Every structure is written in C-alpha cells, then in structure tokens.
C-alpha cells in the first residue's frame, strides 16, 4: 500500500512538472507576443499621430477645390455668354456684309 501511494505521488509529481514546463513555455510565448503587439501598437500610434494633420490638410484642400470650381463655373458661364455674343455678332456681320455685296452687285 505504501508503495502504491509513493508511486501515485511520483506520477502526480511528474504530471505537475510536465504541466509546469508547458506553462513556462506558454508564458514565454505570451511574453514574446505581448512584446511584438506592444511594438506594433507603438508603430501604429506613430503612424496615426500624423492622421489628424493630414485629414485637416485634406479638408482644407477640398474646400479650396470647391471654391476654385465655383469660380471656374462662373468664369465658364461668362465665357459661354461672350462666345455666344461673338457668334451672334459674326452672324449679323456676315448677313450685313452679304446683303451689301448683293446690293452692290444689283
């Protein structure tokens, strides 16, 4: 009976030692993962610390582009009116000059 108890205790001790080694290995793996995740977090913080400034610049650029586009549309409308006026004047001048030519020929 005493031999059984001693052997049983040795088996339990071996199992506990095995579990302790595995837990120690798991601890080392988790420590490495924690270190790498911390490094990744620091790199992401450095990367995204620039984001608010870049977003602000992008918003300002968008506002400037919209203002430029509005001015461009006004200028385009003016240019279209000028070209339509020139076209109309050209037609009138062409008709007047043709009518003068026709009246001189007759």
| Rounded Cα–Cα distance for residues 50 and 57 (Å) | 11
pLDDT of residue 104: 66
Domain boundaries, the chain: 1-49, 51-106
Give per-residue pLDDT as tens, 26-63.
999 999 999 999 999 999 998 888 888 888 999 999 99
What pTM value is reported for the model? Answer: 0.48
């Amino acid at each position: 009976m005493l031999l059984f108890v001693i052997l049983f205790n040795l088996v339990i001790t071996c199992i506990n030692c095995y579990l302790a080694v595995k837990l120690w290995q798991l601890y080392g793996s988790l420590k490495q993962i924690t270190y790498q995740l911390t490094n990744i977090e620091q790199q992401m913080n450095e990367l995204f610390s620039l984001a608010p400034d870049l977003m602000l610049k992008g918003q300002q650029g968008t506002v400037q582009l919209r203002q430029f586009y509005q001015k461009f549309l006004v200028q385009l409308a003016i240019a279209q009116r000028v070209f339509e006026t020139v076209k109309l004047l050209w037609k009138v001048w062409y008709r007047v000059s043709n009518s003068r030519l026709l009246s001189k020929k007759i």
